[in-house]
Every structure is written in C-alpha cells, then in structure tokens.
Amino acid sequence: MHNKFYFISLFAIVILFGYLCYLIFKPFLTPLAWAIVLAIVFYPLLGIINKYVKRASIASTITTLIILLIIIGPFSYISFLIALELRELPKFLNEEALEEIKKSIETPFIKKTINYVIEKFHLTEAEIDKSISENLSLFGKELLNKFTKSIGNIVSFSVDFLFMTIALFFILKDGSNFLEKIKDYLPFSEQQKSFLTSQIRDIIVSTIYGGVAVAIVQGAIGGMTFFFLGISSPALWGLAISVASFIPLIGAFGVWGPMTVYLFIKGYFLKGILLAIIGTFIISLIDNILKPIIIGGRTKMPVPLIFFSVLGGIQLFGLIGLIMGPLVVAIFISVIDIFKHLDEGGKNA
C-alpha cells in the first residue's frame, strides 16, 4: 500500500507540474518549434564551422547570424512585393477596372458561360456587373481590413522572432548535451533508445532535409518559369510552390496547375502549354527524383498517413505543422512499435 501511495502521489505531482510547465512554455511553443527545426536543418553548417572555430559559443553565434541572413533577405523582398501588390489593389475595385477585366478575358468560353448564367437565372448583364463589382469591393475591404489588423501583430511577430533567435543560439550551442540528458530520462532500454533515435532521425531527414531541398529547387524553378513567362510577382508564386511542395499528393501542382488553366482561359495558349510542360516534366518530376535520392526509402509511413498528418499539423501548429505533423505522428508510431516488441527489445525497459 505504501508503494502504491508513493507511486500515485509521484505520478500526480509529475502530471501537475508537467501541466504547469506546459502553461509556462505555451506562449513560446511556436518560436521554440521554429528554432528546433532551423537548428536541425542547419546543424551540418554548424559542424563545418566547428572545424575552424573551436569555441562552441562563437561557432553557434556565427551559424545563427548566417541563418538570420538567409531568412531575413528573402522575407524582406517578399514583404516588399506584397506591399506593392496591395498598393495596386484599389485600382481593381472600381467599375472601370471591371470593364478592363471583362475585355481582357473575352473568350468564346467565357462569353458562352456568361450567356448561360444570364439565361438560366434570368439575369441581365448589368445585374451581373453590379454583383461582381460589389463583391470585389467587399473582398478588397475585407482584405485591407485583415492586412491592417496584421500590422498590429508586427510587434508580436518581432518578439517571437527574437525568442526564436535566442532559442536557436542555445539549441545550437547546447543541443547535443540536452538530447543526451533527455535520453537518460526515457524509460527504455539502450536498444530501444537507439531504435527510437534512428526512427526520429529518419523522419527528420525525410520531412526536413528531403522536403526543404525539394521545396527550394521547385520554388526556384517555378519562380524563374513564371518570370520568363511574364507572370507578375514570380517570387510570390515561387514561394507558394515551395510551400505547396510539402503537401503530399497535391504538391507543386496545386499552384502551377490552376495557373495553367488561367492562362488558357485568358487565351495565352503558348504560355499555358509551356507552363504545363515545365510543370509536369520538371517542377513536379523533381519530387520523384530528389526525394528518393535524399530520403533513400527511410520513411515507412504510408502516403495517406503523411497527407493527413501534414494537414492536421498545419491546423494545429500553423505553417510549421508541415514538418511538426509528420514528426509527431512518426514519434508516436515509433513508441507504439517499441511497446509492441517490449518482450523482444529487453525487459529492463
């Protein structure tokens, strides 16, 4: 009875203070998660710097500064492009702009569709124009309103970015020692710890190294393709392709596919054909060439499971859920697998 009471009390204390620790760290979970991901991605860079700089603090500082330059440079350029696009937005929210848009997309298909809608719903062309104009105005006002609200979050974003930078430095500096201490607290045998570490390493290589490499290459090629085809804001489209490349089954096609359809609707058939060819045989094909080379068949997770873990991860964690979703699911499956082979893996767990 004494042992049971001791165990129950200890378990309750662990749960209580674990929950309190969660509440304490909850406001910083997002910057901490980004710091961990960036530390994993750029850990090889730290290893190279450590060969020439022996002091861990100096090597970590240099690595952190390089990471910040890589992040801030493209982010500043993309923010500048978004600001330019928003400045042009009011021009598209008036009746004259509506007439220009209608003239620019006057194709037999569009005309046929509009005539069908007019006959089917007994509407006049003036009523359709009025409805489109009103909805464009509402959309523009809502978009500008959300953008104005997002400006108020700049301070919060800056604070999170500062916390991420601080956490990134200390993870790079003391991360290996911290991981060793975590392993000491895991209630598994050494064999099972090695198995879990191997599984986590494999999913990290798959989702981060493989995913990031493919995203960068696909985004760069997509951005250059949009630039040479004369499509506005190629950097933004390249970024969209990079983000979409993380989504299984859909991938980069989710960006260049609709754009191809749009080019055909507007009558730019040559541009549409070129984008379809480059998208099919270069942009999307990269996913099937680079990932097997980088990943090397490490991931044992089924594609539907990866797909839903990515979508669920985005909903739960935000953008970082692209990586955190599959990583959490993979760790969970690995731990379940350890318990499944508990008798085989060692009775000292």
Q: How far apart are CA 254 and CA 257, in angstroms?
A: 6
Residue 290 has pLDDT above 80, yes or no: no
Percent of the chain with pLDDT over 70: 68
Whether residue 54 contacts residue 108, with contact meaning beta carbons closer than 8 Å, is answered with no
Question: What is the CB neighbour count within 10 angstroms for residue 164?
Answer: 23
User: By C-alpha distance, which of 247, 252, 279, 251 is closest to 263?
Assistant: 279
pTM for this entry? 0.64
Residue 349 has pLDDT above 50, yes or no: no
pLDDT tens sequence across 214-270:
888 898 999 899 989 988 778 778 888 888 887 766 788 888 998 998 888 777 889
Of 148-152, 168-172, 173-177, 337-341, the poorest mean pLDDT is in 148-152
Looking at residue 2, its pLDDT comes to 65
Q: Token digits for 36?
A: 């961990």
- If you compute the radius of gyration of the chain from its CA atoms, what whole number of angstroms results? 26
Looking at residue 347, its pLDDT comes to 45
Whether residue 297 contacts residue 167, with contact meaning beta carbons closer than 8 Å, is answered with no
Residue 122 has pLDDT above 60, yes or no: yes
Q: What is the mean pLDDT of the chain?
A: 76
**One-letter identity of residue 332:** F
Domain ranges, ordered by start, for the chain: 186-349
